[in-house]
Chains A and B, each alone.
Chain A
Amino acid sequence: MLELRLIQGSLLKKVLEAIKDLVTEANFDCSATGFSLQAMDSSHVALVALLLRSEGFDHYRCDRNLSMGINLNNMSKMLRCAGPEDIITIKGDDGTDTVTFMFESQKQDKISDFEMKLMDIDSEHLGIPDAEYQAIVRMPSAEFARICKDLGSIGDTVVISVTKEGVKFFTRGDVGSANIVCRQNTSVDKPEDSTVIEMNEPVSLTFALRYMNSFTKATTLSEVVTISLSSELPVVVEYKIAEMGYIRFYLAPKIED
């Protein structure tokens, strides 16, 4: 038996919008810890890890660990039928091949049940080791989205370099090149507007902008994005989900031949 009630149902809607274009189908895992997902894109270049902790739900019942294979496009279609203020409850049972999404209006005067078929998905679960990163950049998520969009109109790849001076985003394409530098900038009144750079060592890595632009679909979930870089590791682009957990996108770098 599975019953997860989320007062702020819009969070789940936003999560789906953030990942459905990157990953078409995935197993959602439900355990005492929370509702989670780990999936790779079809090219196996990027990986998304989602965690919504059990404490963040208004009601969380998960009698035993359950994995639900879901087509994310279909789930997104169903969640789009929930109103922006609706409370969403996810219901499932062992041994059935469906999951039910229940939408309740704030006033409790409209209750909808959407039943969706589950599917068998044979997915690989990868172990993500804890790592020390050479540089960690925290910046406004809207600023990062703007940079990725702007650079995506010029080139296909972005070189992200962190030095004492700041974080530099560089691209080159047929029409020319672009270079954007963001310096550390702390705002006491509005910490979410700050750009904070923690650097142990300078680092410079190249990534496909197509993926970065896909990650920025999570911008609505958090005002701040954290970008963790190390020369021997995939970049981690993390959006915290208020008091509930996170979406982390991992992207393998492009390396000079």
Chain B
Amino acid sequence: DTRQFEIKTYFSKK
């Protein structure tokens, strides 16, 4: 099974 990660996991809030 694969899990979909959110983009916020990789890019921090400005």
Contact = CB atoms under 8 A, between A and B. Distances in A.
Given A126-B12, A127-B12, A256 B2 contact: yes
A127 B14 CA distance: 5
A253 to B, nearest CB: 7
Nearest to A234: B10
B5 A125 contact: no
Contact of B3 (A40, A251, A255): A255
B2 A126 contact: no
A240 to B, nearest CB: 22
Interface residues of A, number: 26
B7 A254 contact: no
A252 B6 contact: yes
- The range of chain B's interface size is 10 to 19
What DSSP secondary structure best describes chain B's contact surface? mixed
A96 B1 CA distance: 50
Contact of B6 (A44, A129, A206, A256): A44
B13 A127 contact: yes
A119 interface: no
Contact of B13 (A124, A234, A256): A124
Given A254-B2, A255-B2, A256-B2, A234 B7 contact: yes
A157 interface: yes
B13 A126 contact: yes
Interface string A120-164: 000011111100000000000000000000000000010000000
Interface of A: 40, 43-47, 124-129, 157, 206, 208, 232-234, 250-257
The 10 A-B residue pairs whose C-beta atoms are closest, nearest first, are: A254-B2, A126-B11, A252-B5, A125-B14, A127-B14, A44-B6, A257-B1, A47-B7, A252-B7, A254-B4
